[in-house]
Structure 1
Amino acid sequence: MVAVSAKINDHEPTNKLVFSSLEEELRDYAMKNDVPIIQDDGLAMLESIIRIKRPKKILEIGCAIGYSAIRMAKVIGSEIYTIERNQDMYNEAIKNIKKASLEDKIHVFYKDALEAFDLVSNETFDMIFIDAAKAQYMKFFNLYTPLLSEHGVVVCDNMEFHGLVEALDNNEEYMSYSRSVRGIIRKMARFHDELLAKEDFDTTLFEVGDGIAISVKK
């Protein structure tokens, strides 16, 4: 177990991002339609991890409109399996992946990730990227990590939940949020602790974007 926190958000990403015209369209669509996509510095880190680990197969929990799946598939040609539970987002993802001519590299499943294990249970993944319902992160982690290859890596985005996890240290601020938001804050804080306590993974938390956890299987 390694419980490390690294603050690198004050520096430029090591991987300068360049976006295709389609990716610019997706970024614009996400902004206009309040679709959560990974922040640029988080994306730069994710792509750097892919270059270092060179995963043949990546499982993504939370496809949304296909933005991160498209980016990941293009780094070194990894095969992506991605799960999305929202019908509209799934339809957008299918359309966008086709536009990117990546249908042979990206496999999208329309299903709640908590019910989708059987769809991918015969696969072995070198990387898992979790960017879905925040309250379910621990369930996602425990459900899918048995499919992880030796020394595989799990990347979790939004570990700071828009900076709100820190609100637990300020009771007045914490109580100012709705009951549902407070519930997510508590679950994300618990996930922090449980993730760092896992003896079969070495985990590092990075203050990049909205917070990223990198867990490497021992």
Structure 2
Amino acid sequence: MADQSAGALFTEMRSYAAQHHVPIMEEQGIGELVDLLKQQQPQKLLELGTAIGYSALRIAEALPAAHIDTIERDVDRYEKAMEYIDSSPMKSRVRAICADALEVDPAELDGPYDAIFIDAAKGQYDRFFEKYEPLLGDKGMIYCDNMSMHGMTEVPIQDVPRRKRTMIRNIRSFREKMAEHPRFQCELLAVGDGLLVCTKK
């Protein structure tokens, strides 16, 4: 894949994601996340859940000084992400790692990070947070996508498809825990599919 401009690359990635049913951030959500990151100006960012690399590259394009580590456990998606990263103008600042984020040794990562973006297995957010929060630097921020799960977290559990109930219960429990977290100030933003912004106190 030849090097492409960022705009052309993002258009191609959105098309690929739609055709192959790859979940990438909704445009409103990624737009808000990028705006928040521009305000924060992190130099080092960790993403859990690369998929095909769309959000990592959008963030890298918006933050020219930032370096991003991103972890993806699905080999096919990781390989596609590497194609897109390698053809992008941001390739020198994005490092993709093929692994299960719950099995990675944090000591092997380039922490501490100024920001952590969690967008991986939705029912495991509490475990991700507990594992990677120690890698967050002072005054760092953790961003969590899919806190609404297409509205399912806001309806009675009996109205949620049975196969998704455990995941929805886990997301609700995580949201409630973060609302009372002693070390973080958290705000749930009604953008995209629900974005939780947690600032280290």
One fold, TM greater than 0.5?
yes
SS in 2 for 1:115: coil
1:211 positional shift: 0.3
Among candidates 169, 190, 194, match of residue 186 of structure 1: 169
| Matches of 2:110 and 2:33, distance apart in 1 | 25
Among candidates 105, 113, 123, match of residue 135 of structure 1: 123
Q: Which runs of 5+ in 1 are unaligned?
A: 1-18
1:195 positional shift: 1.1
- 1:46 aligned residue: 33
Which residues in structure 2 correspond to 1:168-179 (within 5 Å)? Answer: 170=156, 172-174=158-160, 177-178=161-162
1:63 equivalenced with 2:50 (yes/no): yes
1:54 positional shift: 0.4
1:152 equivalenced with 2:133 (yes/no): no
| Matches of 1:217 and 1:121, distance apart in 2 | 20
Structure ranking higher on relative contact order (CA contacts 8 Å, 6+ apart): 1
Runs of 4+ in 1 over 2 A off after TM superposition: 117-122
Aligned pairs, number? 195
Provide Cα deviations, 1:34-64, integer angstroms capped at 9, x if missing partner. Answer: 1111111111111111111100000000000
| Matches of 1:94 and 1:119, distance apart in 2 | 23
Among candidates 63, 68, 87, match of residue 76 of structure 1: 63
- 1:211 aligned residue: 194
Q: Which runs of 5+ in 2 are unaligned?
A: 1-5
Provide Cα deviations, 1:180-200, integer angstroms capped at 9, x if missing partner. Answer: 301111111101101111110
1:162 positional shift: 1.5
The 8 Å contact of residues 57 and 127 in structure 1, kept in 2 or not, is answered as yes
Change (3 A) 1:119 1:89: farther
| Matches of 2:30 and 2:173, distance apart in 1 | 25
SS in 1 for 2:92: coil
1:104 positional shift: 1.3
Measured on the aligned residues, the alpha-carbon RMSD in Å equals 1.3
